[in-house]
Amino acid sequence: MSPAVPKLRLRDVSKHFIAPRTGARTLAVANVTLDIESGEFVCIVGPSGCGKSTVLNLIAGLDSASSGTLEKDGVAITGPGADRGVMFQDYALMPWQSVADNVGFGLRHGTPGKALSAAQREQRIRHFIELVGLEGSEKKYPHQLSGGMRQRVALARLLANGPDVLLLDEPLGALDAQTRLILQVELLRIWGETAPQAERKTAVFITHDIEEAVFLADRVVVMSSHPGRVREVLPVDLPRPRDEAVRGDLRFGHLVEAIWRLIRDEAYRAIGGSTTAAAPAVPA
């Protein structure tokens, strides 16, 4: 593979939806052009309804673009694949299956486990349960777990299928603030923060939380709405591996401030608030 080929390449991607009854047309995203390198962690932020999930679904192949092209490793994306793992805010675990069975679902029933023996599959399930820190909970059911633990199960299930691209749509959004901070650090470790870039997965992570985006990302893509467009892409020049101390770095504060300035007016409009009233510098 030529190093010049990015892991993901979006060229002039637009997507409109047509309401089935009225025929009304919504241009959800327009002319999105973006390259994401292998091993990069990219966060997408932007006001509600600006098309973040739409872009993610197009990369996942769960939906198709109205115009423009999407490629992975130089090959057109034409549908979903085990090479791109998707994780949403709601854990989407199967309540009637144990932790181990949830994690192993794709391996037992999908293409990722086809080439593996039963023993190899079990070993792989164990490995990812340990990686997300859930050893000892293998036999528990989702209702017996906290929100943070459920999201760890979802992450282990995602990783067990061996994707090289992680597509994460507000995966920590339903968690309490403390659990969220802990899982941000965990996520960076699992993504491969301490490994060389060549061994890291490529991650596209959607969040409403600007601090979360800056903490996690190599680059933050700021989108604007109506229609959804890429407004700006900001590199995050903060050293890795990152820990809590990075939040005190001046550059961290400056980036959070800059991103909030970019989306502030639209974010207020999206919730029906005034766009002219003096807004706080950064959301509390």
Site for ligand ATP in 226-245 (CB under 6 A): 228
- Site size with ligand ATP, rule: CB under 6 A: 12
240: CB partners within 8 A, 6+ apart: 188, 193, 194
173 near ligand ATP (CB under 6 A)? no
Task: Pick from 8, 10, 28, 125 the residue near ligand ATP by CB under 6 A.
Answer: 28
Task: Pick from 6, 39, 51, 85 the residue near ligand ATP by CB under 6 A.
Answer: 51
171 near ligand ATP (CB under 6 A)? no
Residues facing residue 32 across a β-bridge: 13
Question: Residue 89 — left, alpha, or beta (φ > 0 → left; ψ -120 to 50 → alpha)?
Answer: alpha
Task: Pick from 50, 86, 87, 213 the residue near ligand ATP by CB under 6 A.
Answer: 50
Site for Mg ion in 29-88 (CB under 5 A): 53
Contact stretch for ligand ATP (CB under 6 A) within 5-13, 48-56, 232-240, 271-279: 48-56
107: CB partners within 8 A, 6+ apart: 113, 116, 121, 124, 125, 160, 161
Residue 227, binding choice from Mg ion, ligand ATP, none, Cβ under 5 to 8 Å by partner class: none
35: CB partners within 8 A, 6+ apart: 6, 8, 9, 10
Pairing of strands 41-45, 202-206: parallel
Residues that bind Mg ion (CB under 5 A): 53
